[in-house]
Structure 1
Amino acid sequence: MAEPVTTLRDASQSAFAALPANAQRSALDIEYRWLNAHLADAPLAVFLHEGLGSVAMWKDWPQTLCERLAMRGLVYSRPGYGRSTPRPRDVKLPVDFMSVQARDVLPALLDALDVNAAERKRMWVIGHSDGGSITLLYAAAFPDALAGAVVIAPHVFVEDISVDSIAEAKTAYEQADLRSKLARHHDDVDSAFYGWNDIWLSNAFRSWQIIDELDCIRCPLLAVQGNDDHYGTMAQIDTIAQRAAQTQLTKLDHCGHSPHRDAPHVLNDAIAAFVGKHTRSALS
């Protein structure tokens, strides 16, 4: 059962870590929603959205998966997205913006929502696309602060196919109907779109990679990708498996960049089997 969407006033201001040190910082509103909050003793699944995502853009998939897993859930919109505080127009995301989200923003949000250390040890983090990369970075930075991770179409380095598709998205946003579609899900749609699009298309970002960080991940890790993904190739999750030997790969036929939309039943089966296996082994 999904709780109403709520906003959290983040007095720590950590989510604007990307702002210059001399910039004026104000408190942030973070949009979030609890799922199955009545399951007080159940493990928590935290969902990290894609580069243009939000609480609303997940639709009902997190709820469906939480019911399948008998878990509580937490979905939230990162600063700049959904109903959370927009990115200031004069602030560009830094090359390490995903590291900032993993290292600073997610831990601060969990602190503000009173998710304690014991709950975090049982927590699963599930991320899609940029959210998948943030999931990997969180698992690397806090190896004892989660039970396991699921990454769906993550990025660990920049490929030409990603840049080409993101450039096409800019054309669709400025010349077609992508802006009007996204505007339904973001209070400041330009903040959401250009924050993501500008950094991914910048020359500085072409050398971004998080391959070395993968060596630090110790938790069970499921990496999922569709064979028809136009934002990345199988080299992304193959690289993860090469550096984190405990990784299980799931490669989906007839599936694009968003398996939770293109193949939700197959994806849910894969996640449920993986989580169930590692939950049983943890109890044995």
Structure 2
Amino acid sequence: MQTKTKIKLDEITIKRTDRFPGRPTIIFLHDSLGCIELWRGFPEKIGELTKCNILVYDRQGYGKSCAFSYSKRDYYYMEQEADLLNELLDFWQLDKAILFGHSDGGSIALITAGKYPNKIRGVITEGAHIFVEDITINGIEEAIKLYKTTNLKTKLEKYHGSKTDEMFWAWASTWTTDEFRNWNIEGFLPKITCPSLIIQGEEDEYGTLKQVENIITQTNGQSTQLVIPNVKHTPHKEVPELILQKASEFINGLNE
């Protein structure tokens, strides 16, 4: 499926650091409720450890980017985001980018590497999904409960402002439909030829280790898994030093 970019490039917010001429650029792809600010200083730390340039952006509907240009999220929205990323790579004139994606961002990274393998040098994912599981739905239903009964909405409004409700329900409503239960991106995995580091917390509340196993066994590039005990869905926040170490080792190894 080839899609057209639905937004203008000036409608997304970008944070870019080019401190290391001639070195690769690492692109960070946020999760389903994330944005540039919620990465904190993590991208910069990896950039320093690897002497790579970094680029982080808010997808449409998130953070400081514009509101969604559609009323209902498409079943193929992550593939559409991968197609947009491909166009952004051309616009930014980036060749052989390294993708670091968390959750939805991880899935988008995998799709991009599968659809546009010649443009991607390496992929790191955290808590990426390639299909929907019961634990995924249960985790989202718990998030919906928290959104309705706790200050979760207020916390998210700090980063997403007036777009918060639309952003949250675009995720929660889409993933809990009967139609989306059949969503699956495993078809892209055999087309991935670059090395990948697949990270997941052993206690991830949104996916089982079957996600990692299927990614590792189906990609054609050299894939390495990092499963972390006593960690949930956000390893780079729960065990940041470990992720910085393993991610930087992986990235530095791409040059060997």
Task: Report the TM-score, using the length of structure 1 for normalisation.
Answer: 0.85
Say which SS state the counterpart of residue 143 (structure 2) adopts. Answer: helix
What is the CA-CA distance between 1:264 and the residue it aligns to? 0.9
Identity of aligned residues (%): 31
1:212 pairs with one of 179, 187, 191: 187
Q: Is the CA contact 1:227–1:255 (under 8 Å) kept in the aligned structure 2? A: yes
The number of residues matched between the two structures is 251
Say which SS state the counterpart of residue 94 (structure 1) adopts. Answer: coil
1:27-54 per-residue CA deviation (whole Å, 9 max, x = no partner) reads 861111013x232322100000000010
> Unpaired segments of 5 or more residues in structure 2?
none
Distance (whole Å) between structure 2 residues aligned to residue 189 and residue 57 of structure 1: 14
Relative to structure 1, is the Cα distance of residues 248 and 27 closer, same or farther in structure 2, using a 3 angstrom cutoff?
closer
1:92 pairs with one of 43, 47, 72: 72
What is the CA-CA distance between 1:139 and the residue it aligns to? 0.1
1:111 matched residue in structure 2: 90
Q: Is the CA contact 1:15–1:101 (under 8 Å) kept in the aligned structure 2? A: no
> Unpaired segments of 5 or more residues in structure 1?
1-12, 17-25
1:58 matched residue in structure 2: 39
1:172 matched residue in structure 2: 146
1:198-240 per-residue CA deviation (whole Å, 9 max, x = no partner) reads 1111111000011121011000111000111101111101100
Q: Which amino acid aligns with 1:172?
A: L
2:59 matched residue in structure 1: 78
What is the CA-CA distance between 1:273 and the residue it aligns to? 1.6
Q: Is the CA contact 1:132–1:151 (under 8 Å) kept in the aligned structure 2? A: yes
Distance (whole Å) between structure 2 residues aligned to residue 164 and residue 38 of structure 1: 43
1:96-245 paired onto structure 2 within 5 Å: 96-103=76-83, 105-112=84-91, 115-116=92-93, 119-121=94-96, 123-187=97-161, 188-245=163-220
Q: Is the CA contact 1:29–1:84 (under 8 Å) kept in the aligned structure 2? A: yes
Distance (whole Å) between structure 1 residues aligned to residue 254 and residue 23 of structure 2: 15
1:98-121 per-residue CA deviation (whole Å, 9 max, x = no partner) reads 000002x11222333xx32xx422
2:11 matched residue in structure 1: 29
1:165-219 per-residue CA deviation (whole Å, 9 max, x = no partner) reads 1011111112211100000011311121111111111111000011121011000
Distance (whole Å) between structure 2 residues aligned to residue 216 and residue 98 of structure 1: 17
- Per residue, is there more helix in 1 or in 2? 2
CA-atom RMSD in angstroms: 1.6
1:277 aligns with 2:253: yes
Distance (whole Å) between structure 1 residues aligned to residue 167 and residue 48 of structure 2: 30
Q: Which amino acid aligns with 1:244?
A: T
Q: Which amino acid aligns with 2:78?
A: M
Q: Which amino acid aligns with 2:105?
A: G
What is the CA-CA distance between 1:68 and the residue it aligns to? 0.9
Runs of 4+ in 1 over 3 A off after TM superposition: none
Q: Which amino acid aligns with 2:145?
A: T
Distance (whole Å) between structure 2 residues aligned to residue 120 and residue 193 of structure 1: 33
Q: Which amino acid aligns with 1:259?
A: P
Distance (whole Å) between structure 2 residues aligned to residue 186 and residue 55 of structure 1: 10
Distance (whole Å) between structure 1 residues aligned to residue 193 and residue 219 of structure 2: 8
Say which SS state the counterpart of residue 139 (structure 1) adopts. Answer: helix
Distance (whole Å) between structure 1 residues aligned to residue 57 and residue 156 of structure 2: 17
Distance (whole Å) between structure 2 residues aligned to residue 14 and residue 127 of structure 1: 20
Q: Which amino acid aligns with 2:39?
A: W
Q: Which amino acid aligns with 1:189?
A: T
1:251 aligns with 2:233: no
Distance (whole Å) between structure 2 residues aligned to residue 72 and residue 15 of structure 1: 27
Relative to structure 1, is the Cα distance of residues 51 and 185 closer, same or farther in structure 2, using a 3 angstrom cutoff?
same
1:30-86 per-residue CA deviation (whole Å, 9 max, x = no partner) reads 111013x23232210000000001011111111111111111100000001111111
